[in-house]
């Protein structure tokens, strides 16, 4: 199976703190990988390394076999990596639809220029882009909210809109940072369906950070566990649930349990 992502010994330090310390991971095309670990483990920082917010102090990142370690964030978006944020970042002064339009892959000046030079009318191109975005809104279940202000949506729907916006750049790999945070169990069921749709129908890869262990165990092919910046375990969901070091890393944390009833 083709490898889409390969992180080799990535390290980044903030002063004395190694927020991510020699972390390696590989993702095969078609697999859903979850990154778990206690707060402060380095999960979001690893996403920041993957998306180019930070450059690693050492180590390398390969995407589809290409070394992207030195690429800037927008170049990585063009290569096909997109993300959502742990703290929702939507454009507050824009509608739901507009939030997708600004991110749309076809909206870059270059792309519009190319379509005009190629004889395609600008109006027609614009209509196509709006249709693409409306289609994405339908996929994330927000089509009837297109004209509402993004920040007027309930929290769970804002998270879905962020996923829609991440899809709007036509990525091959979508990084979801705690997509289920603040969602109720019904919304999480919808989120699970959406992630399967992204993977199976849209043929995109998903790497996610999530704290809800029931959700993670259910959806992941492979789980990578970070603690204090280091990878302490990885494997199949059933292996991770039995891993003593993983259980210990979480001990005493009231919010954490593998048990169904929690
Ligand atoms: N820009 C930064 N400057 C200094 N410290 C940071 C920065 N970003 C993250 N950290 C620190 O790195 C550690 C890992 O943070 P983070 O990746 O956000 O953890 P997680 O997402 O697993 O909860 C934390 O101790 C955090 O305070
Ligand atoms: Mg985080």
Mean pLDDT by 10 residues, the chain (262 residues): 94 97 97 95 98 98 97 95 93 93 72 62 83 96 97 94 95 97 92 96 97 92 96 95 86 52 40
Decide if 42 is inside a domain. Answer: yes
Give the integer Cα–Cα distance in Å for 242 and 155.
34
Other CB atoms within 10 A of residue 124 CB: 10
Q: Would you state the pLDDT for residue 254?
A: 43
CA of 86 to the centre of ligand 2 (A): 6
At 222, give phi and psi (nearest 5°).
-145, 140
For atom 12 of ligand 1, which residue has the closest CA? 19
Question: Ligand 1, atom 9: nearest CA belongs to which residue?
Answer: 45
Instruction: Look at residue 125 in the predicted model and tell me its pLDDT.
Output: 81
State the pTM of this model.
0.91
Instruction: Determine the pLDDT at residue 80.
Output: 96
Distances (CA, A) of 15 to 12, 18, 57, 58, 158: 10, 8, 12, 15, 34
Q: What is the Å distance from ligand 2's center to 230 Cα? A: 14
Domain of 16, CATH number, reads: 3.40.50.300
**Among the atoms of ligand 1, which is closest to the Cα of residue 15?**
4
**Does the residue 149 lie in any domain?**
no
Q: Which pLDDT value is given to residue 249?
A: 81
* pLDDT recorded at residue 251: 59
Strand 32-36 to 230-235 pairing: unpaired
- For atom 25 of ligand 1, which residue has the closest CA? 40
Q: Tell me, what's the pLDDT at 188?
A: 93
CA proximity to 194, closest of 144, 156, 132, 139: 139
Task: Report DSSP state, residue 247.
Answer: H
Tell me, yes or no, whether 67 lies in a domain.
yes
Pocket residues: Cβ below 6 A from ligand 1: 14, 17, 19, 37, 39-45
Residue 260, pLDDT score: 46
Give domain status of residue 211, yes or no: yes
| Inside any domain, residue 85 | no
Interatomic CA distance for residues 12 and 259, integer angstroms: 34
Distance of CA 127 from the midpoint of ligand 2 (Å): 37
Residue 163 lies in a domain: no
pLDDT at 123: 81
Residue labelled with tokens 């004209």: 147
Number of domains the chain is built from: 1
The pLDDT value recorded for residue 53 is 97
> 39 C-alpha vs ligand 2 centroid, how far in Å?
7
66: in domain: yes
Residue 109 confidence (pLDDT): 56
What is the reported pLDDT for 262? 39
Atom of ligand 1 nearest to the CA of 229: 14
Domain range for residue 236? Answer: 3-80+171-250
Paired strand residues for 112: none
In a domain, 214, yes or no: yes
Nearest Cα residue to atom 1 of ligand 1: 14
């Amino acid at each position: 199976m083709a490898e889409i992502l390969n992180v080799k010994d990535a390290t980044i330090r903030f002063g004395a703190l190694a927020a991510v310390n020699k972390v390696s991971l590989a993702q095969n095309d078609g697999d859903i990988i979850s990154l778990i670990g206690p707060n402060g483990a380095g999960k979001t920082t690893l996403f920041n390394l993957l998306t180019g917010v930070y450059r690693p102090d050492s180590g390398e990142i390969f995407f589809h076999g290409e070394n992207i370690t030195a690429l800037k964030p927008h170049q990585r978006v063009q290569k096909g990596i997109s993300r959502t944020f742990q703290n929702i970042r939507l454009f507050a002064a824009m509608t739901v639809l507009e939030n997708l339009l600004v991110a749309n892959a076809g909206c870059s000046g270059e792309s519009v220029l190319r379509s005009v030079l190629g004889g395609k009318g600008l109006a027609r191109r614009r209509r196509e882009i709006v249709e693409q975005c409306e289609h994405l809104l339908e996929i994330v279940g927000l089509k009837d909210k297109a004209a509402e202000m993004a920040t007027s949506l309930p929290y769970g729907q804002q998270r879905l809109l962020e996923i829609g916006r991440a899809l709007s750049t036509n990525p091959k790999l979508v990084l979801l940072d705690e997509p289920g945070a603040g969602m109720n169990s019904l919304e999480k069921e919808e989120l699970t369906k959406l992630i399967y749709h992204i993977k199976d129908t849209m043929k995109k890869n998903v790497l996610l950070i999530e704290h809800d262990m029931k959700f993670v165990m259910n959806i992941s092919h492979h789980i990578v566990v970070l603690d204090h910046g280091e990878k302490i375990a990885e494997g199949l969901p059933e292996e991770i649930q039995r891993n003593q070091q993983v259980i210990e890393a979480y001990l005493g944390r009231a919010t954490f349990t593998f048990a169904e009833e929690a």
